[in-house]
Amino acid sequence: MTGPAIWHPFTQHGLREPIPQVVRAEGAVLHTADGDEIIDAISSWWVTTHGHCHPRITAAIAQQATQLDQMIFAGWTHEPAQQVAEGLRAIMPDSLTRVFFSDSGSTSVEVALKMALGYWRNTGEPRDRIVVMEHGYHGDTIGTMSVGARGVFNRAYQPLLFDVTSIPFPHDGTAQATYDALETACRQGAAAFIVEPLILGAGGMLIYPPEVLARMHRICADQGTLFIADEVMTGWGRTGTLTACEQAGVVPDILCLSKGLTGGAIPLAVTMASEVIYQAHYGPDRATMFFHSSSYTANPLACAAAAANLAIWRDEPVRERIAALCQQQTDHLNALAAHMRVCNPRQIGTITAFEVGGAEGYLSDMAPRMLAMFRERGVLLRPLGNTVYVMPPFCITPDQLARIYAVIREVIDHLDN
């Protein structure tokens, strides 16, 4: 168990729930200090792609640690960062010509918002309204909370949040209302629209089709509103393709990437921008440069991990592994869908989700009860209220995945006991 000095995220310590100590990990398995083996069914909060302690990534970090561990990135550069930028340019859309480094998904979104606002100010047409989607989540900093859904997550911080325009989520049969609201907001001079492509993560694993994403992108393009794709969760194969935008044929003006950028081994993020956004900040006037950084921008150790991840994508059959996992997920979800307590089963790529009937809401006591039962049975699953989702590393074995679904069935069978 962890010591009393640690204040854990999204944890109500007053409930005195056990907090196991993990001592090592390999592939899709976590090993605790008590000797238990835990199957990581959610990729340790959606970050681990190729598996824990992947040898190519850990070796890259170790080698880099003997050469250059940290340096200022303002006005200086280093080879690992250059390798990552070149690697990203090779696999991401050609129009995303510029790579700005930061250190988390939240900061990559903050950077995107600041880039968008800076673009409009520097081009002489100030726009400051940001459009968001209902139920969206983009992080826990002040800016990212402002563009996310308002609720229990950020109610205490409401005085600090800036106003945005929210459009409805495109549930089945309601997409036209989404289009109409977005077009109205764009016609009123919106600076940018930010969205999680194809699936809203923390908002409840809500899925919408590629044609809706494509139509929203066209509306923004027609009205000159910048399109920001938050692919922090959806990127790196989670939806079945390298990015979710690929499935809709969408190329955003600004793209946010993190989590799987390093294979999940170490924090790093990038915000990729089109050339016109970069050029709006370029020139002899220092007042128009982009004012953002952190002490660990483009940390060499993190960049070495990201470069190794990019090499894995180039050299290994990652897409084939993803395709195989997608099919296995489909088979397991189809078998589980007949359960009387399983509601709205759904899948996109390597992600499956469903609701457990009988309780609603993020603060329902069903979530901690299920979490505890999953943990006791050797599976790391963290329900969002009564929404259970499975998002495993791509290296998970068929037997491990089968065990996850067997435990899910066992837990929902015992909920009434």
Model confidence at 1: pLDDT above 60: no
Q: Is 61 exposed, middle or buried (0-12, 13-18, 19+ CB in 10 A)?
A: middle
Model confidence at 416: pLDDT above 80: no
Strands 342-348 and 351-356: antiparallel
| pLDDT tens profile 312-346 | 999 999 999 999 999 999 999 999 999 999 999 99
Distance CA 299, CA 353 (A): 35
| pLDDT tens profile 50-63 | 999 999 999 999 99
Residue 295's pLDDT band (boundaries 50, 70, 90)? Answer: very high
Residue 359's pLDDT band (boundaries 50, 70, 90)? Answer: low
Instruction: State the architecture of 57-315 in CATH terms.
Output: 3-Layer(aba) Sandwich (3.40)
137: alpha, beta or left? (left if phi > 0; alpha if psi -120 to 50):
beta
Average of per-residue pLDDT values in the chain: 95
| pLDDT tens profile 159-180 | 999 999 999 999 999 999 999 9
Please state the rounded mean pLDDT for residues 239-248.
98
| pLDDT tens profile 180-196 | 999 999 999 999 999 99
Report the pLDDT value the prediction gives residue 358, as an integer from 0 to 100.
63
State percent of the chain over pLDDT 90.
92
Model confidence at 360: pLDDT above 80: no
Encoded tokens for 278: 């970069």
Please state the rounded mean pLDDT for residues 352-356.
96
The continuous run of DSSP H or E covering 331 comes out as helix 318-336
| pLDDT tens profile 115-160 | 999 999 999 998 999 999 999 999 999 999 999 999 888 899 999 9
State percent of the chain over pLDDT 70.
98
Do 206 and 243 form a contact (C-beta atoms < 8 A)?
no
Lowest mean pLDDT among 5-9, 107-111, 217-221, 393-397: 5-9
Distance CA 30, CA 17 (A): 19
> Measured between alpha carbons, how far apart are the two ends of the chain, in Å?
28
Please state the rounded mean pLDDT for residues 274-280.
98
| pLDDT tens profile 36-82 | 999 999 999 999 999 999 999 999 999 999 999 999 999 999 999 99
Report the pLDDT value the prediction gives residue 4, as an integer from 0 to 100.
75
Residue 243's pLDDT band (boundaries 50, 70, 90)? Answer: very high
